[in-house]
Amino acid sequence: MAKFRVGLSADFRKPDGSAAFPSFDLSPLDDEPQIDWSYVPVTERRIAASDIAGFDALILLGARFDAESFPPDGRLCLIARFGVGFDTVDVAACDDNDVALVTTPSGVRRPVAVAILTLILALAGRLMTKDRLTRQGPEGWAQVSNHMGQGLIGLTLGSIGIGNIGAEMFEITKPLSMNSIAYDPFADPDVAKRLGVELVSLEELFKRSDYLCVNCPLSDETHGIVNAAHLALMKPTAYLINTARGPIVDQAALTEALSTGQIAGAGLDVFEQEPSSADDPIFHLDNVITTPHSLCWTDQCFAGIGAADVNAVLAVLAGQVPDGIVNRSITENGRWAAKLAKRSTANA
């Protein structure tokens, strides 16, 4: 029986060939004698079908995997996305080609929630402003009383989404003694009740939140959901935080709201265009904290994400259904089941 071939997108390596993320432990793949793994080229930020032909599984970082990326040999059975987002992968094409798409919610749950907490505390404490004042010497120090921070007790923390990350955010912010509200048409009422989160309408969420966090995936329904009309509902003292996906927010509308004082500020780890242009008007505003889609990046975060992806590969190798499948209906697909059975028979 041929070995189970696993590809890692080449963006897991630096230009000099060294590992981009040393905390991503690949030793379980090395230790499995039935696995042969290698890097797969990334061309113009996408995976080409000719480069992934002959592979059974792919661990994918930032490259796109579109409908034209699937090789005709039909061998590929798993794409394990390194992270929780999957907007770079054509999910419908995965179904059409009998490929399971897996993400790693267990690996990012706590790190992203901590990133959100970081932005909440930085905005409330006027961290960036006070950093600039300190560097100005006595003249800056003399202005500190004009930049008072904000206490959080009794303020309202809102979330668009109360899934994996949203729930974790509410869990770790409990000691802040904030009121918790969320909008999520798919929310589990029992989870919301356990967390002490009041489920509200989208409009009420924007009206009541003092800190409004985006914790939903990017989809046709959520694209641009934070728009001019909804931003107009927010308090002038309110803050928007987005660590999810940039296109969920209408960035031009947000820039206008921030420029005019319609809302007090924002904390953004994601943007409509990534990498963003240095000339983007939002970067010239002093009431915004920005980070380059990496605030949650820690050694522990990448170790956890990597372990989840490797476990998905090992599960498929053993003929088992992996955790974190995005296209759950694939498990009812006889052709995909046959791929799993083939692996299970080979390992027997």
Q: How many domains does the chain have?
A: 2
CB 160 within 8 A of CB 231: no
Note if 198 is an active site residue.
no
Residues 120 and 233 in one domain: yes
Please tell me whether residues 309 and 270 are part of one structural domain: no
Q: Domain with 21 in it: what CATH number?
A: 3.40.50.720
Q: 155 with 208, same domain?
A: yes
Does 293 qualify as catalytic in the annotation?
yes
Note the pLDDT tens digit of each residue in 128-150.
999 999 999 999 999 999 999 99
Same-domain pairing of 258 and 206: yes
Q: Using the predicted structure, report yes or no on whether residue 348 has a pLDDT greater than 60.
A: no
Structure confidence by residue, pLDDT tens digits, 205-247: 999 999 999 999 999 999 999 999 999 999 999 999 999 999 9
Identify the domain containing residue 16 by its residue range: 4-103+298-347
Residue tagged active-site, from 109, 208, 293, 343 = 293
* Residue where a domain terminates, one of 290, 318, 339: 290
Residues 116, 234, single domain; the answer is yes
Domain identity same for 175 and 234: yes
Within 10 angstroms of residue 107's Cβ, the number of other Cβ atoms is 25
Residue-wise pLDDT tens digits, 57-114: 999 999 999 999 999 999 999 999 999 889 899 999 999 999 999 999 888 999 999 9
Is 223 a residue of the active site?
no
- Do residue 134 and residue 68 come from a single domain? no
Domain boundary among 290, 309, 338: 290
Question: What was the pLDDT predicted at 84?
Answer: 87
Question: Which of 290, 310, 332 corresponds to the end of one domain?
Answer: 290
Q: Are residues 284 and 303 in the same domain?
A: no
Same domain for 166 and 268, yes or no, is yes
282 and 314 co-located in one domain: no
Q: Give CA–CA dist 236/233, Å, rounded.
A: 9
Residues 184 and 61 in one domain: no
Which of these is catalytic: 109, 208, 230, 245? 245
Neighbour-count burial for 16-38, b at 16+ CB within 10 Å, e otherwise: eeeeebebbeeeebeebeebebe
**Do 164 and 52 reside in the same domain of the chain?**
no
Q: Which of 45, 194, 203, 274 is catalytic?
A: 274
Distances (CA, A) of 141 to 134, 136, 145, 172, 286: 6, 7, 9, 33, 18
